[in-house]
Structure 1
Amino acid sequence: MARNRMLFSFLLLFSIVMAACSPKASIVDSPEFDQTQNEFIEELDVEKIHSSLKELTKKPRVAGTNSEIRAAAFLTVQLQSEGYEVEVQPFDFEKYIMPESKSLVVEGFDGSFSPASFQYSVDGNTSGQLVDAGYGLKSDYKKIDVKGKIALVAVDKTAFYELVLLASEAGAKAILLYFPDESESTNWTLGREHFEDFIPALALTYDEGKKLLDFVKKGSPVNATVEIEGARIEKLASQNIIATKKPTKVADVNDDIILIGAHYDSVDKAPGASDNASGTAVVLELARMFKTLPTNKEIRFLFFGAEEEGLHGSKKYVSAMSKDEIKRSSAMFNLDMVGSADAGNLAIQTLDGWDNIVTKAASKANEELNGTSIETTFGDRSDHTPFHNAGIDAALFIYDPVEEWYHTPNDTIEKLSKDRLLNVAKIISSSVFELTFSAIPEE
């Protein structure tokens, strides 16, 4: 973590030097303004968006790594070159490290296993008698003794983490979970909340679980060894990047704040073009566009770190806001996955599925630009969530359903649509233009 801090400080110092050598936009208190809203949005430059995408997608930008730091430094340089004073908001977060190895060995069993790891399973190397624990419910453990043993559990409708906790409470040393039918999960996670109370857990396919259950039911005691190595939680460092456009100093200026944000980190092994270099690059272009535009509201451009690890960046930002800032924040636009050519239609999502200031402004803008309104739907898996929970009108902009190659190494820049990127940029800029009452009368 100290190494990351030192590297980030160095990169920020480099960015300041670079910005000093770059041409800056002129900054004046009340510039002449005679553009219409349509003229303003027509100046959006999709090639600049694409250029930022090329830089951001050179490597995966996993939270807490040097690649995420380099992305933060790139954003800092770009924002400073437009004349912004950039605030860096550092924070620490916990990250679960998946096991380096895992194995299941069953004495006397003719065959091998390829168990899957659970996110948030704990390390362990334990041996014991394998016991059929049915569906792993409290009622099942009343009929059997699993103390010091390994429970074999068929997954029905109970959450994974509950099954692990129930086995632990019954005294089991480890647990093997399998599905009693052909349907199998791909979301192998137990959740962070009860990590300290978990026992080692592995997932088996239906076929593996069925064969193992049949073997256990033959009558003779069956011993097994469960081994999980390298699973742990580490504390890592990340940072938010913040650029603020102050309102123009004219008679009708107010103290409202409009927030426009996107997360810039990606998952491991994914260049993260759609998720979420697309949103990041669009917000960067919006920051360039709005820098010299007369507005009577403050606009903050937010670039969140560590979203993929649990919305850590946006949670940090909201937690650091004063009560007055929260009260003055009238709208939060969150851009996440806004360029994929292979995803569904553009969606606007809120935490409660209801319209608010953001959705109404954006739907109106889309109707004017594209001839249709956009229905607001429910969505809670991105950085608008902490803002909504703080009482700020917030919404997510995303092409949904997402593409098949979501969170894979195939999330590359070639999969993005310039038309879709520009479409979102126009909708957001038009909405913000409207909300900031940019056509300010002369003093």
Structure 2
Amino acid sequence: MIVKLTVLCAALLVPVAAVPLASLPASAAHPSRGLMEDVRRDLDAFARIAREHGGNRAAGTRGFDGSVSYVVAELRRAGYAPAVQPFTYPDWAERDTPEFARTAPRARPYVHGTDFVTMEYSGSGDVTARAVPVDVPAAGQAGTAACEAADFARFPRGAIALVQRGACEFSVKVTRARAAGASAVVVYNRSDARSVAGGTLQRQRKLPVVSTSYSIGSALVRAARKGTLRLHVRTKAGTVRKHGANVLADTSGGASGRVVVVGAHLDSIPEGPGINDNATGVAAVLAAARRMSRTPLRNRVRFAFWGAEEDGLRGSEHYVTALPKAERAKIALALNFDMLGSVNGVRGVYDGDASLGAEKDPPAGSGAIEAVFRDYYASRDLPVTDSPYTGRSDYGPFVKAGIPAGGMESGADGNKTTAEARTYGGKAGDPYDPCYHTMCDTVKNVDFALLETMADGVLHAVRHFSAELP
């Protein structure tokens, strides 16, 4: 049953309903006291919502509506006046089964869903042409393939571009390829990932784009270097309008001109219930919100539960772009928490000081955000790992707007390194989350010990920035 909710205006939070502040126990010295009971209860609730609504909580489904209703009810129970911000966006869909095959020198068809997928917002087309690798990285490296126009300096018009994932957004690679005259694009994954390089191109494109694994892609590159490789790519896809929603709730205290946004995405993908990705982040943010509802604050905290992240950061993008300039200027920083309990995970902190060499330039103040997490875990003798500052989760729109941002994640489809296995345990060479974007992303797909420390870090950061800004 979908609860009827009050709409959020572009800049102002319109309360769903005003309720008395809940009476919460005083904060204990150890931040996790009672925290994991809340987190586990929320994860069970999201799992139940998915089971009751077709096995997922994807944007535009009854499972997502049920997730919105649950979060609203929990925020009200904690004493907030939450609001729902609806939005629409173009949603991409395939209209026929795609095809991808090698036609020469030896014919080989590839299996849709196993060997390749169509990239979200791929255009339609039926192409058979020579395949040409673009700026192939050194073995074992991510490289910057197809990120610069110069990478296509001698690219033959009409050819199919073979490009490796890494260093810039998929949309940049495809834009460069089309400008160079490519008839189609095949994106293959990095060498440290075993899966197909699925992803979004963010808006509708005019040429077919498919993605595949590193093993298939690297084999195609070797064949293409001999000059005889020809591929066949056929896609049929387009867009329709889709409905989404964000849930937002402000603390009653704190200066309205100094707002700390604390967010996590509420939607799953259609293929599964999305418990690690990202009910863990939502549950940690909800648990923090419950504990901050009656805390005296210097800075206002805005808890945000984003819709349609899996469709290309649609909810957070809508929120940031819809804010009037004056309201946007009041946002001091944004925190983002996406996948906090990967079963083969790490304690990843967004690299706000760009020590890794950021794909996105972190706005000033982002390094100070990273330092707060690092200092907290150092005080507990717990290791942390730099997580690449890519902007590919819901902090991305804030970064584009020049707002300092940071947060945590525990790893998705990349593979754990030997050094990480020595530090955190787990198995080197295996994915951080073996159930990433699949139906097995259930409550069983959560490392609760890791999640507990991550939830502690969420609460610590919220408390810190509610009192002190970078």
TM value normalised by structure 2: 0.68
Task: Summarize deviations over 1:77-123 as a string: whole Å, max 9, x none.
Answer: 11112221111111112222135313479999996623645323333
Higher Cα Rg, which structure: 1
Q: In the alignment, is residue 367 of structure 1 matched against residue 378 of structure 2?
A: yes
User: 1:413 — aligned with what?
Assistant: 443
Alignment partner of 1:288: what SS? helix
Change (3 A) 1:320 1:37: farther
Give matches, 1:326-405, under 5 Å.
Answer: 326-350=328-352, 351-352=360-361, 355-368=366-379, 370-371=380-381, 374=384, 378-380=388-390, 381-400=392-411, 402-405=432-435
Q: Quick one: which amino acid aligns to residue 60 of structure 1?
A: N
Percentage of identical aligned residues: 21
Check whether the contact 1:307–1:383 (CA below 8 A) recurs between aligned residues: yes
Check whether the contact 1:175–1:202 (CA below 8 A) recurs between aligned residues: no
2: distance between equivalents of 1:411 and 1:267? 10
Give matches, 1:432-443, under 5 Å.
Answer: 432-437=462-467
Query: Which has more helix, going by share of residues?
Result: 1
User: 1:281 — aligned with what?
Assistant: 283
User: 1:114 — aligned with what?
Assistant: 110
Q: In the alignment, is residue 38 of structure 1 matched against residue 4 of structure 2?
A: no
Alignment partner of 1:281: what SS? helix
Aligned residues: 390
Alignment partner of 1:243: what SS? strand
Change (3 A) 1:76 1:189: closer
Cα drift, residue 356 of structure 1: 3.5
Q: In the alignment, is residue 425 of structure 1 matched against residue 455 of structure 2?
A: yes
Q: In the alignment, is residue 86 of structure 1 matched against residue 86 of structure 2?
A: no
Over 6 Å off, 4+ runs: 104-112, 152-158, 182-185, 200-214
Alignment partner of 1:286: what SS? helix
Task: Summarize deviations over 1:384-426 as a string: whole Å, max 9, x none.
Answer: 2222332332102112453233222222211213332222222
2: distance between equivalents of 1:226 and 1:328? 48
Task: Summarize deviations over 1:142-182 as a string: whole Å, max 9, x none.
Answer: 8xxx7xxxx567669995564455456xxxxx658699xx9
Structure 1: which 5+ residue stretches go unaligned? 1-6, 14-18, 169-173, 439-443
Check whether the contact 1:261–1:303 (CA below 8 A) recurs between aligned residues: yes
Cα drift, residue 139 of structure 1: 5.1
Check whether the contact 1:69–1:238 (CA below 8 A) recurs between aligned residues: no
Q: Quick one: which amino acid aligns to residue 40 of structure 2?
A: H
Residue 44 of structure 2, aligned match among 23, 30, 54: 54
Change (3 A) 1:322 1:341: same
User: 2:143 — aligned with what?
Assistant: none
Check whether the contact 2:160–2:184 (CA below 8 A) recurs between aligned residues: yes
Task: Summarize deviations over 1:281-313 as a string: whole Å, max 9, x none.
Answer: 111111111112222321111000111121111
Check whether the contact 1:46–1:422 (CA below 8 A) recurs between aligned residues: yes
2: distance between equivalents of 1:297 and 1:81? 22
User: 1:16 — aligned with what?
Assistant: none
Cα drift, residue 272 of structure 1: 1.1
TM value normalised by structure 1: 0.71
2: distance between equivalents of 1:84 and 1:257? 16
Check whether the contact 1:331–1:357 (CA below 8 A) recurs between aligned residues: no
Structure 2: which 5+ residue stretches go unaligned? 7-15, 135-151, 166-171, 353-359, 417-431
Task: Summarize deviations over 1:350-381 as a string: whole Å, max 9, x none.
Answer: 3546754422333333233x135756553222
Alignment partner of 1:101: what SS? coil
Q: Quick one: which amino acid aligns to residue 270 of structure 2?
A: D
